[in-house]
């Protein structure tokens, strides 16, 4: 059992080391995230103006409302949005501030999603929880004045798994619906439906449909399945994961230009994995660490215990 678990623990330690962010860069990242919430806030107060007849909550936390949330409630959420963002910005009791930001986002989204439409923002909303655990208050914060703090890569290992799982579920849904089939054109159908029925059309949607090539559309389907699905393999190697995360903005840009779905905030979701010196981004990029350096004596010590 030790021979099995020890390589796993060493691999996790290697992943953690590869993702451990620079404390100062991580603190600046926290400030930029909080600042983005202040200058481009998520708006909730419009919800109170929607007639009750439109309330159509699907499964989820939005069921707690039982109807369109009242005006005082969404105004309070809007105020808390600004207050928690400012709290996170200064970095005082950063963990509590991060949890508060996430709580406001979840409750606010539940109100917004009370009309059946659900956006793809969950990774952005959960980000502060994992970043607080990783130590984004270790520097450039009020907390750092009281005592020395360090960052940790282990929460980012978990964060990589969460990201991979989220994209894998999206890929699985597309695969089941037939995107793999040469006779099915999933991307084309999305763009065509958005162009015909949506009020907010992608700027290149008409051009893409007018210059349709079945082979290119099919290749786009397969590329989408790969971009979303292969991250579950890429999480085993920091180098592969970073390559995957660098490819995703190309995918997001194509979605924005054809479907007008903005994934720009997801820059914050991917950025933590690059907050170490660029010279170390690809360090020890072999798919597996070299466990052969583990001597028999080390294994014996592990078996014997302290």
Mean pLDDT in order along the chain per 10 residues (306 residues): 72 89 96 96 87 79 80 93 97 97 93 80 94 95 85 96 94 93 91 83 88 89 93 92 92 88 92 89 56 42 38
User: CA 270 to CA 252: how far, in whole Å?
Assistant: 12
For residue 173, the model assigns a pLDDT of 92
Single out the residue of 10, 272, 12 nearest to residue 154, CA to CA.
12
For residue 193, the model assigns a pLDDT of 87
Q: Which helix (H) or strand (E) holds 185?
A: none
List all residues 6 or more positions away from 302 whose beta carbon is below 8 Å from its beta carbon: 2, 6
Would you list the DSSP string of 287-302? SS--GGG--HHHHHHH
Q: Which residue is listed with tokens 């059946």?
A: 116
User: CA 71 to CA 77: how far, in whole Å?
Assistant: 10
For residue 284, the model assigns a pLDDT of 58
Read off the DSSP letter of residue 115: G
For residue 4, the model assigns a pLDDT of 67
Give residue limits of the domains in the chain: 1-18+152-299, 21-148
For residue 175, the model assigns a pLDDT of 93
For residue 3, the model assigns a pLDDT of 66
User: Under a CB-based contact definition with an 8 Å cutoff, are residues 138 and 26 in contact?
Assistant: yes
For residue 298, the model assigns a pLDDT of 40
For residue 283, the model assigns a pLDDT of 66
For residue 218, the model assigns a pLDDT of 93
For residue 301, the model assigns a pLDDT of 35
């Amino acid at each position: 059992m030790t021979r099995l678990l020890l390589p796993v623990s060493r691999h996790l330690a290697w992943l953690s080391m590869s993702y451990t962010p620079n404390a100062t860069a991580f603190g600046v990242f926290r400030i930029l995230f909080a600042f983005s919430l202040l200058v481009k806030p998520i708006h909730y107060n419009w919800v109170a103006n929607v007639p009750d007849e439109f309330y159509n909550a699907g499964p989820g936390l939005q069921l707690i409302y039982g109807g369109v949330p009242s005006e005082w409630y969404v105004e309070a959420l809007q105020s808390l949005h600004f207050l928690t963002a400012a709290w996170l910005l200064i970095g005082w009791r950063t963990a509590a501030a991060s949890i508060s930001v996430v709580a406001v986002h979840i409750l606010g989204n539940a109100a917004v999603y009370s009309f059946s439409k659900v956006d793809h923002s969950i990774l952005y909303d959960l980000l502060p929880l994992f970043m607080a655990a990783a130590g984004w208050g270790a520097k450039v914060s009020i907390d750092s004045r009281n005592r020395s703090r360090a960052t940790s890569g282990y929460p980012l290992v978990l964060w990589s798994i969460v990201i991979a799982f989220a994209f894998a579920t999206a890929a699985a849904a597309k695969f089941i619906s037939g995107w793999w089939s040469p006779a099915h054109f999933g991307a084309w159908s999305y763009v065509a439906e958005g162009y015909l029925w949506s009020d907010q059309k992608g700027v290149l949607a008409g051009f893409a449909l007018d210059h349709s090539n079945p082979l290119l559309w099919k290749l786009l389907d397969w590329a989408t399945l790969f971009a979303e699905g292969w991250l579950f393999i890429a999480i085993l190697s920091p180098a592969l994961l970073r390559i995957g995360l660098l490819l995703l903005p190309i995918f997001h840009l194509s979605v924005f230009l054809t479907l007008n779905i903005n994934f720009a905030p997801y820059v914050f979701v991917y950025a933590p994995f690059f907050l170490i010196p660029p010279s170390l981004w690809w360090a020890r990029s072999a798919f597996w660490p070299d466990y052969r350096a583990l001597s028999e004596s080390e294994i014996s010590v592990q078996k014997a215990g302290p």
